[in-house]
């Protein structure tokens, strides 16, 4: 068991050898990150990398007409600002806090030195980067080919996999921004999930009351991403068993 606030709640930090962890521990700064906080602006210089523990953050790409879409989510399995370690001094996208909670941050130059040691930290970052690429690519496939109910179900499951409870504090408007869809579409999708008994929701609050029912609602994208994270990362927080593709209720999940 870890203390209430521990950097080892982050899976990458927890997987480091004792000597490597001790070397970084001095430089770790504990933070509470509130919902909606912007930790990187697009094009901003990267001064710190963040290791979420009980928070979830999301890279978000915006376009000229003001629309935006979530590219991925990052929780206790990963870190932000990895482009710095590969030679990028500026953030290609913005990153905001999707679910409030704790994190630790370390100055970018300190982590660059650790990365350049070519030890366990570098290996973990490379494996995590591959898993993140898979998530980002699969999100693009899902957003193009699957309906809003399936996208919402996948989003809820992936978020809960990175939290210690079955509850999310997010409005439909915030979820709509993350998925790149209209708020009304999220409301309709949430109503369908509530109708089948998968979730219970009120304004700004979503509770998953039947995870198996929620897993029934999603497309194969959740299992694809889940399997890749499990293959590449140690101590991953999601279930060891990738949920099988189940028959979707056609009367509720017809593709729009």
- Each domain of the chain, given as residue ranges in start order, spans 7-138, 147-232
Exposure string of 17-41, with b = 16+ CB inside 10 Å and e = fewer, is: eeebbebbeeebeebebebeeebbe
* Domain topology for 7-138: Jelly Rolls (2.60.120)
pTM of the model: 0.84
Helix (H) or strand (E) holding 167: strand 167-168
- The CB density around residue 144, as the number of other CB atoms within 10 Å, is 7
Taking domain 147-232, whether its CATH number is 3.20.20.70 is answered by no
As a whole number of angstroms, the distance between CA 142 and CA 222 comes to 9
pLDDT tens for 182-238 read: 888 888 999 899 999 999 988 778 899 999 999 988 889 899 999 999 999 875 444
The encoded tokens of residue 96 equal: 């905001």
Q: Quickly state the pLDDT bin for 171 (edges 50, 70, 90).
A: confident
Nearest to 230, CA basis, from 154, 144, 161, 165: 161
For residues 95-100, average pLDDT: 91
């Amino acid at each position: 068991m870890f203390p209430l606030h521990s950097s080892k709640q982050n899976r990458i930090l927890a997987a480091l050898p004792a000597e490597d962890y001790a070397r970084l521990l001095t430089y770790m700064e504990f933070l509470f990150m509130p919902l909606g906080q912007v930790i990187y602006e697009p094009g901003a210089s990267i001064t710190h990398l963040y290791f979420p523990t009980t928070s979830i953050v999301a890279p978000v790409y915006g376009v000229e007409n003001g629309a935006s879409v979530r590219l991925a989510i990052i929780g206790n399995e990963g870190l932000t600002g990895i482009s710095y370690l590969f030679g990028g001094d500026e953030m290609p996208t913005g990153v905001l806090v999707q679910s409030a909670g704790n994190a630790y941050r370390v100055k970018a130059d300190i982590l660059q030195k650790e990365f350049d040691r070519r030890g366990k930290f570098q290996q973990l970052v490379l494996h995590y980067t591959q898993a993140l690429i898979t998530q980002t690519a699969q999100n693009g496939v899902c957003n193009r080919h699957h309906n809003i109910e399936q996208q919402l179900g996948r989003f809820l499951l992936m978020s809960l996999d990175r939290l210690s409870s079955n509850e999310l504090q997010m409005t439909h408007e915030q979820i709509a921004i993350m998925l790149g869809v209209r708020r009304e579409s999220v409301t309709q999708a949430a109503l369908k999930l509530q109708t089948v008994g998968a979730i219970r929701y009120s304004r700004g609050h979503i509770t998953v009351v039947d995870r198996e029912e929620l897993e029934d609602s999603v497309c194969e994208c959740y299992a694809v991403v889940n399997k890749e994270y499990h293959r590449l990362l140690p101590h991953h927080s999601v279930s060891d068993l990738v949920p099988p593709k189940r028959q979707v209720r056609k009367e509720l999940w017809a593709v729009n």
